[in-house]
Structure 1
Amino acid sequence: MKQTIHPTKLSGTVQVPSSKSVNHRAIISASLATGTSKIENVFFSEDIHATIGAMRAIGATITIDETTLFIDGIDLTKQSFEDPVSIDCGESGSTLRFIIPILASMPGQYTLTGHGLLLQRPMTPFINMLDDSNVKHEFTTTRIMIDSRENQLKPGEYRLPGNISSQFITGLLFTLPLLREDSKIIIESTLESTGYIDLTIDTLRDFNVTINRNTYEDYDVPGNQSYESMTYSIEGDYSQAAFFLVANQLGHDIELQGLKEDSKQSDKELINFLNILNTTTEAVTLDGSNCPDVIPALTLACALANHPTTIINVGRLRIKECDRLNATVTELNKLGANTIEHEASIEVHPVKSLKGNVEVESYNDHRMAMMLAIAGTVCDGPIMINEAESVNKSFPTFWDVFQELKEN
C-alpha cells in the first residue's frame, strides 16, 4: 500500500495504544499462571496476535472480548506434548525470544517459524543455553526446531551478553522461576535497554514471581515458584507515543492520553532527549542504547533542531525489521536532511526544512512508516510512502488516527 502525505497541521487528542512490551509480558505471565486472568486495555497488533497464538499453541485458553483477554493458564511443570507443535511468531522478536526457554522446559517437539528477517536475528545466546542443557535443536533462517522430549532446560548459572538484546534475558526470567532449583543470570557486558528488564521484573512481581536483581548484570532467580492469576490493566505505549511527541516538537498540537508518568518503559527517555534538544544551542551527544525503537523519530527531530546532534550506541538498529540505522539515514536524506551513517551511531546536522515531491521507502518496517508520516507533514510538498501497511505490526489504527488529526 502506498500512502501520500501532504504538508499539514496535526491537532487533536490521541488515546495512546497500550504498551506492546507490557502486552507481551502480561499475556505470557497470565498464560503461565494457575487459574483465569483478566487482561484489560489490550491493543491488538500483529505482534500481539503472534504471542496470543504462541501461548494458545502450548495450551493456554485465551478468549478475546473487545479489548479484554480472559486467559486460563497452563501448568508448565505438568505440560507435555506427544504431537509436534508448530508456532508462527510472525515478525515478533519478543514472541520468538520470550517463548524459546519456555519450550525448552516443556517436554515436546516444537517448530517455530517467522516472517521477514525475524529468523536472521542473532540467536547465539539461546543456542548456547540449549547446548548446556543438552536440549536438541536446529536453528536455520527458515525455521527453529526444539526437541525437549529427552532433556529440558536445567536450573543453574546462565551467562548472557547485554549488548545484543534484553529479550534473551526476559525469556529466561519467565522460565527459570518455574524450575525446581534456584538459578542465576550473569550479564557479561554492559546491559542495554535496562528499562525492558525493569518492565519484566515488575510484571512478574505483579503475577507473584520474584526476581532478585542485585545489579543490572547480576540476577538471582529463586526456583519452584508459581504464577498467580490476576486482573491486569495495560499502560499506554511510549514507543507509539514517540511519533506524536516528535510531531509536537515540530510544531503540531497533539494531546496524548493514557501514558503513565512513572512508567518503567525505556522509550520514555525520548522526553528527556527532546528537552535536551529544546534547551541547548550547542552540539549534543545522545545515548540511544536503552531506547532503540524511538531512534527513527528522534533522528527526525534532530534533523530540524538548532544544533548538531550525534546519537550513539544504536548499532542494534541494524538487526530490527530492517537495517533501521541505514534506512533512517537514507530516507531522511531523501527528504533533504543532512544525516551521516556510522557503524553504531547517527550524526545529524540540522537543516532549515525538508523537501517534498519524493517517494520514500518504509522497508516494510512499521517504525519507519510512522516516522516518515510525521516527516511528511513538515515537508514543502507531498511525499509518498511505500509499504505503508507495515504499521499493522504494532499500530494497525495508525492511519485512522493520523487522518483524524489532519481533519481537526
Structure 2
Amino acid sequence: MLLQVKPTATLGDVATIPSSKPETQRAILAATLAEGKSVVRNDLRCLETTTMKEACRTIGAIIEEKDGYLEIQGVGSNFAGNKRVIDALGSGLVFRVFTAITSFGDTPEVLTGDAILRGRVMAPLFDALAQLGANISCVADEGKAPVVNWGGGFKGGRCVIPGNVSSQFITAVMFAAPMAPEPTEIVIEGEILSISYIRQTIEAMEKAGIRIDVADDFTSIVVHPGQYQSADYQISGDYTSSSYIIGAAALFQGTRVLKNMNSQSLQGEKAIIDVVKALGVEVQFDDANDELTLINNQTHLAGDFEFDASDYPNIVPTLAAIGAFVEGTFRVVGGSITRLHKSPRIKAMVSELQKLGVDITPLFKDGVYDGFEIHGKASYQGGLELSSWGDHRIFMSLFIASLRCERACLLEGYADVICSFPDFFKEFSAMGVQFTETEDGNSDLLKQA
C-alpha cells in the first residue's frame, strides 16, 4: 500500500487533536476492574483502544460507546468464567497488562498477539510475575508471547523490574497488584525511562481509589491491596499525536489553532511544546477552551539544539522529521528504549531520512541506538519510496518530512494510522495537504478525508 504525499508551500490554520491513547486505555482498564459503573469522557477510539475494550469485555466488562464518552460496568475481581483467548493484536500494553491481571482468574488464559508483538521483549514481566508467585508458561519462544496464565493469583511481595526496557512492565504489575491480599513492592533497577507513563498509571489507579506509595526517585513503588472504585474520567488531547501537526506547524510559517489541547497534562510527550518553542515558535494555551495556538513567523529553522528524549520517547521519530529541516546541529539523545517499540525507531528514521539525503548520524549508548545528530537544510529533492517499517509512528513522521520535499514521496504503511490517529488524513486534508493512493492501496481511510 503506497501513498503519494505531495509537497506543500502552506499549511491550514485549524486542526483537532485526538484524545490521549494511554489515558484512554488506562481509564478503560481501571473502570473494568472497578465495581459499579464508570464514565470515560472524550475517549479516543482507535485500533489500540478498541483492542483494550475487547480484552476487557472478554473478562466480563460491559462497555457501551456513547456520543463522546464510554459507560463501563466493571467486573471488580470477579472475572467471567470459561477458558478464554485474549488477542492483544499489536498492543504491547494490552498484552502485558492482561498477562498480569489474569493471574487472578480462576481458569487458564491464553494471551497472544500479532507477529510483531510476538517478537517483542516480554521476559522481564514474566520474571517479575514469577517472583510474585504467578504461574505463566510460554507457548512458543521462551520469554515471548503467546503465553498461558494458569491463574490462582499471587499474595503480593517483592519483584524487580529493569527500568530501561519498558514502563509497561511496571504498569502491568501495578494494575494487578491491588487484587493481591498483601502489598506488592516493585523495585525498579538501573536507569528509569518513560517515567511519565508510570505517572499516568498512578493517576488512573489513584482516581479509582487504589493506594500507592512511590519513592521520590521512582526506584520503589508499593501498591496496597484494595478494590477499584468506579470513577468519572476526563481524557485530554494526545501529545504524541499532536506532535505530527505541531511538527508540521514548525516547518511552515503561519498561525495555527489546535483544538482538544490543554497545558495540564502528565504526558511526557508534552515536551514537543518545549521543542518548538526552542525552535522559535510562539505557543499560547487557552485551557478554558482546550485550545493551543502556534505562531510561527519564521521562513526557515536554524540553530544548534540538543534534546534528551528519555521521558518522551514516542516523539523521537517526529523529532527526526523536524530536525531534518533545521540548519545547524540538531541532536536527540535518550531514545534507547525505542529500539523495543513496534520497530527499532531510531534505526528506521535514520535509514529512511538518509534515503532522502538528510545528513543524519545515529548516536549509540552502551552499543545500542540512543539518538541521532542531524545537520539539516531547508528542503530535499524527494521523489522516493519510503518505508514505515510496519510502524504507524514512523509513517506519520515521514509524512511530515515529505511535505517539505521538492517532489512527491511514496510512503508505505499508511493504513496503520488507525492504531492511534484514525483521523490523521482527515485533519491534514483539512489543512490543505494533498495525497493520493497508488497501486492497490486501501481507499477507505482516504475517503474520510
Cα distance in 2 for residues equivalent to 1:29 and 1:332: 40
TM-score by length of 2: 0.85
**Residue 53 of structure 2 corresponds to which residue in structure 1?**
52
Residue of 308, 327, 332 corresponding to 1:311: 332
Richer in strand (by share): 2
Cα distance in 1 for residues equivalent to 2:401 and 2:60: 44
Tell me if 1:338 matches 2:359: yes
C-alpha contact (below 8 Å) 2:308/2:333 kept by paired residues: yes
Superposed CA deviations along residues 58-103 of structure 1, whole A, max 9, x for unmatched, are 1111111243211110121x4363x321111111111111221101
Mapping of residues 237-256 of structure 1, within 5 Å: 237-251=238-252, 253=254, 254-256=256-258
C-alpha contact (below 8 Å) 1:43/1:67 kept by paired residues: no
CA spacing shift, 1:262–1:134, aligned 2, 3 Å: closer
Mapping of residues 3-402 of structure 1, within 5 Å: 3-8=3-8, 9-76=10-77, 78-79=78-79, 81=81, 83-132=82-131, 133-138=133-138, 140=140, 143-149=145-151, 151-215=152-216, 216-223=218-225, 225-251=226-252, 253=254, 254-278=256-280, 283-342=304-363, 343-402=369-428
Structure 1: 5+ residue stretches without partners: none
CA spacing shift, 1:43–1:281, aligned 2, 3 Å: closer
Secondary structure of 2:326's counterpart equals coil
Cα distance in 1 for residues equivalent to 2:18 and 2:134: 41
Superposed CA deviations along residues 97-128 of structure 1, whole A, max 9, x for unmatched, are 12211011222211122124112111112221
> What's the CA shift for 1:308?
0.9
Alignment length (residue pairs)? 404
> What's the CA shift for 1:294?
0.3
Cα distance in 1 for residues equivalent to 2:169 and 2:329: 35
Moved more, 262-271 or 123-132: 123-132
> Share of identical aligned residues, percent?
28
> What's the CA shift for 1:143?
4.2
> What's the CA shift for 1:352?
3.1
Superposed CA deviations along residues 216-255 of structure 1, whole A, max 9, x for unmatched, are 11112221x1111122221100010001111111115432
Cα distance in 2 for residues equivalent to 1:366 and 1:136: 31
> What's the CA shift for 1:341?
2.1
Amino acid at match of 1:40: R
Cα distance in 1 for residues equivalent to 2:398 and 2:19: 22
Please list every run of at least 4 consecutive aligned residues from structure 1 whose deviation after the TM superposition is greater than 6 angstroms.
none
Amino acid at match of 2:329: P
C-alpha contact (below 8 Å) 1:11/1:252 kept by paired residues: no
Cα distance in 2 for residues equivalent to 1:401 and 1:63: 27
Cα distance in 2 for residues equivalent to 1:243 and 1:282: 21
C-alpha contact (below 8 Å) 2:360/2:374 kept by paired residues: yes
Cα distance in 1 for residues equivalent to 2:224 and 2:120: 30
**What RMSD, in angstroms, separates the aligned Cα atoms of the two structures?**
2.0
Secondary structure of 1:273's counterpart equals helix
Amino acid at match of 2:316: I
Cα distance in 2 for residues equivalent to 1:68 and 1:3: 33
Structure 2: 5+ residue stretches without partners: 282-300, 364-368, 435-449
TM-score by length of 1: 0.94
Cα distance in 1 for residues equivalent to 2:17 and 2:279: 24
Tell me if 1:406 matches 2:432: yes
